[in-house]
Amino acid sequence: MKTITTKKKSPLTDQSKLKMLCDLVCDDIEGLFDLLQLEYKDNGRMYSMSCPIHGGDNPSAISLYPEGNSYRGNWKCRTHGCEMHFKPSILGFIRGVLSNQKYNWEKPEDPTISFEEAVQFATEFTKQDLKNLHISRSDRNKQSFTSIMNYVKNKEEEKQQKIPRELVIKTLQIPAQYFIDREYSPEILKKYDVGLCNNPNKEMYNRVVVPIYDKDYNSMVGCSGRSIFEKCSECNCFHNPEHSCVSKDDAWKHSKWKHSANFKTQFSLYNYWFAKEHILESLTAIIVESPGNVWRLEEAGIHNSLAIYGASMTDRQKVLLDGSGAMNLVVLTDNDEAGRKAAQQIKEKCQNTYNVFIPTISKSDVGEMSIEEINQEIKPLLEKLK
Ligand SMILES: [Zn+2]
Ligand SMILES: [Zn+2]
């Protein structure tokens, strides 16, 4: 006789619970690395490290993406393909690392810990009880997705160190000659407090600092700094040419751009503090890749642009944008292959919520355009959207 069981799905086979668990782990990815005692490098949206699973020593063997477009925590071992054995999810990563730490796993024939043990580890790490991780149908709709995001955002905001704007201005030599040389006006650099940090005791010493303010424009929540030095042809780092070359371990300190500690660009949209009222008024937001693009548009009298700090929009940035009141998006990513891919990614992410426009520009990016070119190529579309 056939029996009909009404047994509840086991938590381990409930894909939506596993996905939520993965997301929670990714929300504190550096906490996970610390717990597993892994050395890593934060490259913005991607972390790299030597492979802690097969145990190699190539420092860029692993690429791990805690944001990702569809599935967060995707990873890849470039030298041995360890993700093919353990699955490229964050749970697969945990399983691989623990298998190495517990059974000295190095190759596919070696013993591994079970998937259940990896899930157990992740639930303890995130202080969740997987059985009671409650996901009702209504929790899957956008409203509660947003509330989860806001919860995570608030947690993240607590971690940010806030520095009052007056103090920021005192610390920097504003305006930065570096950007004046790149044809930005001193006025625009003053408006955005862009200046040189010449204090050897500061994290941003010998960098041109671009402060990022909270939405109320009261305090700095983070900053980006461009090295004032050019790329060294010997070691490829951006160090003082009068000093000797940089070791591999110190290379990150001498990168072209550096973000302040604990600041996550993926949680932020540059210029939100100034643009928000203009977005509400025009119902239109312009999306660009970098602060320099925002400044150029401001110089041309366009005040509703936001920068995503790179070539993709994260889920958190989309949530921020959703709170802005915009109905139209004008996507002005760079005029190169990466920029066109970024525009496509933004369109896919946003076309159900916004009218998306992707104009073509004649220069390689908005920062390269003259005011005249902006007036001719971009303003007519903005006029039409009014
Ligand atoms: Zn590996
Ligand atoms: Zn060098």
3-state helix/strand/coil string of 273-301? HHHHHHHHHHCEEEEECCHHHHHHHHHCC
Q: How far is the CA of 39 from the centre of ligand 1 (A)?
A: 15
90 CA distance to ligand 1 middle (Å): 14
More confident residue, 179 or 160: 179
Amino acid letter at 25? V
Under a CB-based contact definition with an 8 Å cutoff, are residues 324 and 285 in contact? yes
Position 302 pLDDT exceeds 70:
yes
Task: Compute the distance from residue 199 Cα to the ligand 2 centre, in Å.
Answer: 22
274 is written with which tokens? 């100034």
Q: How far is the CA of 242 from the centre of ligand 2 (A)?
A: 9
170 CA to middle of ligand 1, Å? 47
* CA distances (Å), origin 184, targets 114, 194, 250, 296: 57, 11, 31, 7
Instruction: Note the ligand closest to the C-alpha atom of 254.
Output: 2
Asked whether 263 and 309 are in contact (CB, 8 A), the reply is no
Q: Vertex 109, ends 103 and 110: CA angle to 5°?
A: 5
Distance 29 CA to ligand 1 centre (A): 19
- Rounded-to-integer distance, Cα 149 and Cα 172, Å: 34
Question: What is the per-residue pLDDT for 44?
Answer: 77
For 192, half-sphere exposure in the C-beta direction (CA atoms, 13 angstrom radius) is: 30
Residue 43 CA to ligand 1 centre (angstroms): 19
pLDDT at 129: 72
Question: Could you tell me the distance, in angstroms and rounded to a whole number, from the CA of residue 178 to the centre of ligand 2?
Answer: 21
d(CA 23, CA 21): 5
The model's pTM is: 0.64
Please state, rounded to an integer, the average pLDDT across all residues of the chain.
87
> pLDDT tens digits, residue range 318-346?
989 999 999 999 999 999 999 999 999 99
Q: What is the largest CA-CA distance in the chain?
A: 85
What would the pLDDT profile of 192-223 be if each residue is shown by its tens digit?
999 999 999 898 999 999 999 999 999 999 99
Q: How many CA atoms lie within 13 A of 106 on its CB side?
A: 4
- Encode pLDDT of 273-291 as tens digits: 999 999 999 999 999 999 9
Distance of CA 243 from the midpoint of ligand 2 (Å)? 8
* Residue range 22-79, pLDDT digits in tens: 988 998 899 999 899 999 998 878 899 999 999 988 889 999 999 866 678 999 999 9
Q: Rounded to the nearest whole angstrom, what is the distance from the C-alpha of residue 313 to the centroid of ligand 2?
A: 33
